[in-house]
Amino acid sequence: MNEKYLVGVFDDEHTLVDAFEKAIEKGVVIEEVYTPYPIHEILQGMKTRTHITHAAFFYGLLGVILLHGGMYYAAVLSWPMQFGGKPSNTFPSFIVVAIVGTILTITLLTLLTFSVRSKIYPGRKAKIIDIRATDDKFIILLNQDNMGIEKDAIIKLFRSNGASEVYEKDANTTDKQLSNEL
Amino acid sequence: MDSTIDKLVVQKNFKYLMYAFIGIGIISLAAGFMLDPDRAWANYLLNNYYFVSLAIGAAFFGAIQYISQSGWSAAFKRIPEAMASYIPVAGVLFLILYFGMHTLFQWSRDGITATDSLLAHKAVYLNIPFFFLRLVLFFGLWIVMIRLLRKISLKEDAEGGMTFFYKSEKYSKILIFIIAVSFTLFAIDMIMSLEPDWFSAIFAAKSFIAAFLHASTVIALIAIILYRLGYFPMLNNSHLHDFSRYIFMLSLVWGYFNFVEFMLIWYGNIPAETVFFVKRSGGAFGALFFVNIALNWLIPFLFLMPRMTSRSKVFLLPVIVLMMIGQYTELYYYIWPAVVHGAKFGILEIGTYLGFLGLFALVVTNTLSKASLVPRNHPYLEESIYHQF
């Protein structure tokens, strides 16, 4: 896996969004954008809509059903509970446990889904394109095999729209030199 | 700047319709007082409380916008202001309750303290002079604070500058503390003391959240109606999303409080507390218990959860209307078993509601038409107009 990237570095949100929107307009295929915080224009422009919220809703539904079923089984079917003359099926009090249990179910299952979908697991080496993206710089990443338009045109576009730096990079080279400079 | 364009012009036909509503209300109440005074007084209390809780909730909504320095709502701040301007009118209407005290409130009846030792114990707080003293005090505080905030807001329109914003924020902070204490006691006086033997610690918090929730829905409703009439051209999906977030969040809190109250009473199983729900378990009230939960929590919870529906007027409008009905059924559920002792619903209820609705709409539109609909010099106005997320 030796992909060649083109990296555009921007100093602030406005120049990044400007360049991003102009690039999209010209038909540039953008691989990824790294920003210190989420930006609405980028989220919409990348058209990467997530369905994890829908998944979370159905995990919640599953949690509610399983928890109520489990408590009903434990308190009524398997061993009918006798508490001070109350009926075995103490439904309204199941809800308290179900709320907390549902939150836990949703949290764990969405975390698992997210990890599987984005291939994150404990001990995986992080793929950092530009170490400064973890600090305060805004990075637009292009894959040189599929950029949409000519490389020179893109470099020109980025530079004329306030990119502080545009450089090429192999996926395998480390950032040692750069991080030393910082 | 031309001041005639950006003010709300109330159509003559609308005014006549609202006068007709008030007429219907007066006629049905008058007929009610002659035929069935208990029910008429119950109607009078319910509708009075219904609309004053909308006004207080709106005042609170406006105060929260200042305290959180919210940008998105700046263009719509005249709506809560206008709704809060109903409070002085409501104050006068509440004083008329004096003539219905014995019908509505068991604890106020002559000689009841001699037979009921619990009420004799509570008589220090629940007695007619102190009841009306509290009423006057609460309304006095609310009117003073709301007039003050309105005056600052109008001055800001005329002169501009940041000082008025900071002043509004300061007085909003005072207002929410006043509302927290006074509305708590007000809800206890007006609704909980209908069943003087019963008490619930979370009742006041629940009433307050219901007021805040339903005021938010009505603010959104007025904003949408005015948009349809062409007054808020800047109202976009993002504003609607913020309105529906308020509704969604508050309906969750409402559902939580409602459940907490019921669950603890059900689980604790103390006769002094369960009597409230035992009285309301049979027949129509048993069904109304679930209707309340469906209208005020389940429907907004399901329909306002997806991003698509919470940004569309087509979905938001029916939910708002259902929640306005939900506020009515909730109060009906409290008041009717205590005063009327039966689920009677008919022309009297609808007529009285229309009467109060007409009065409320007249007061609100009148206040809206007095100042420019979109505030002119609010520091967050630009942010509000171009709000987008």
- Select the residue of A53, A57, A93 nearest B263 (Cβ to Cβ): A93
**SS3 of B250, please?**
helix
Contact B267 A92 (CB under 8 A): yes
Q: What is the mean pLDDT of residues B369-386?
A: 88
pLDDT at residue A174, rounded to an integer:
54
Report d(CA B7, CA B58) in Å as an integer: 21
Q: What is the mean pLDDT of residues B170-186?
A: 94
- Select the residue of B259, B305, B389 nearest A95 (Cβ to Cβ): B259
Q: How confident is the model at residue A178 (pLDDT cuts 50, 70, 90)?
A: very low
CB contact B262 to A (< 8 Å): yes
Q: Searching chain A, which residue's CA lies closest to the CA of residue B266?
A: A92
Contact B389 A40 (CB under 8 A): yes
Residue B237's H or E segment, with its range, is helix B237-268
pLDDT digits (tens, 9 = 90+) for B35-89: 888 899 999 999 999 999 999 999 999 999 999 999 899 989 999 999 999 999 9
pLDDT digits (tens, 9 = 90+) for A154-175: 888 888 888 888 888 776 655 5
Which is nearest to B54 in space by CA: B87, B102, B20? Answer: B87
Q: How far is B265 from chain A (nearest CA, A)?
A: 11
Contact B262 A92 (CB under 8 A): yes
CB contact A93 to B (< 8 Å): yes
Domains of chain A, by residue range, sit at 4-48+126-181, 52-117
Q: What is the mean pLDDT of residues B262-283?
A: 87
pLDDT at residue B1, rounded to an integer:
41
Residue A140's H or E segment, with its range, is strand A138-143
Contact B305 A57 (CB under 8 A): yes
pLDDT digits (tens, 9 = 90+) for B315-347: 999 999 999 999 999 999 999 998 888 888 888
Q: How confident is the model at residue A2 (pLDDT cuts 50, 70, 90)?
A: low
Residues above pLDDT 90, as percent of chain A: 21
Q: Searching chain A, which residue's CA lies closest to the CA of residue B301?
A: A57
pLDDT of A43 > 70? The answer is yes
pLDDT digits (tens, 9 = 90+) for A45-68: 887 778 888 999 999 999 999 999
Which is nearest to B360 in space by CA: B214, B261, B164? Answer: B214
pLDDT at residue A173, rounded to an integer:
57
CB contact A57 to B (< 8 Å): yes
pLDDT of A181 > 60? The answer is no
**SS3 of A10, please?**
strand
Instruction: Tell me the whole-structure pTM to 2 decimals.
Output: 0.87
Domains of chain B, by residue range, sit at 12-108+116-368
Residue B315's H or E segment, with its range, is helix B313-339
- Select the residue of A40, A53, A96 nearest B263 (Cβ to Cβ): A96
Q: What is the mean pLDDT of residues A24-46?
A: 84
Which is nearest to B206 in space by CA: B216, B214, B198? Answer: B214
pLDDT at residue A171, rounded to an integer:
67
Read out DSSP for B49-76?
A: HHHHHHHHHHHHHHHHHHHTT-STTGGG
CB contact B388 to A (< 8 Å): yes
pLDDT at residue B54, rounded to an integer:
94
Contact A92 B263 (CB under 8 A): yes
pLDDT at residue B248, rounded to an integer:
94
Q: What is the mean pLDDT of residues B220-246?
A: 91
CB B285 within 8 A of CB B343: yes
Contacts of A40 in chain B (CB under 8 A): 388-389
Contact B305 A93 (CB under 8 A): no
Q: Searching chain B, which residue's CA lies closest to the CA of residue A40?
A: B389
Q: How confident is the model at residue B152 (pLDDT cuts 50, 70, 90)?
A: very high
The CATH number of A4-48+126-181 is 3.30.70
pLDDT at residue B216, rounded to an integer:
94
Report d(CA B62, CA B84) in Å as an integer: 9
CB contact B308 to A (< 8 Å): no
Contacts of A96 in chain B (CB under 8 A): 263
pLDDT at residue B5, rounded to an integer:
54
| Average pLDDT of every residue of chain B | 90
ipTM of the predicted assembly exceeds 0.90: no
pLDDT at residue A148, rounded to an integer:
76
Which of B241, B253, B258, B266 should we substitute to test contact with A (largest number of A Cβ atoms within 10 Å)?
A: B266
Contact B263 A57 (CB under 8 A): no
Q: How far is B245 from chain A (nearest CA, A)?
A: 16
Q: What is the mean pLDDT of residues A8-20?
A: 86
pLDDT at residue A182, rounded to an integer:
43
pLDDT at residue B282, rounded to an integer:
81
Using alpha carbons only, what angle is made at residue A155 by residues A151 and A160, rounded to the nearest 5 degrees? 150
In one-letter notation, the amino acid at residue A64 is V
Contact A40 B388 (CB under 8 A): yes
B7, β-bridge pairs = B372
Q: How far is A17 from chain B (nearest CA, A)?
A: 14
Q: Searching chain A, which residue's CA lies closest to the CA of residue B307?
A: A53
Q: How confident is the model at residue B4 (pLDDT cuts 50, 70, 90)?
A: very low
The neighbour count for residue B67, using CB atoms within 10 Å, is: 15
pLDDT digits (tens, 9 = 90+) for A112-165: 999 998 888 888 887 777 888 888 888 888 888 877 778 788 888 888 888 888
Q: How confident is the model at residue B3 (pLDDT cuts 50, 70, 90)?
A: very low
Using alpha carbons only, what angle is made at residue A44 by residues A38 and A48, rounded to the nearest 5 degrees? 90
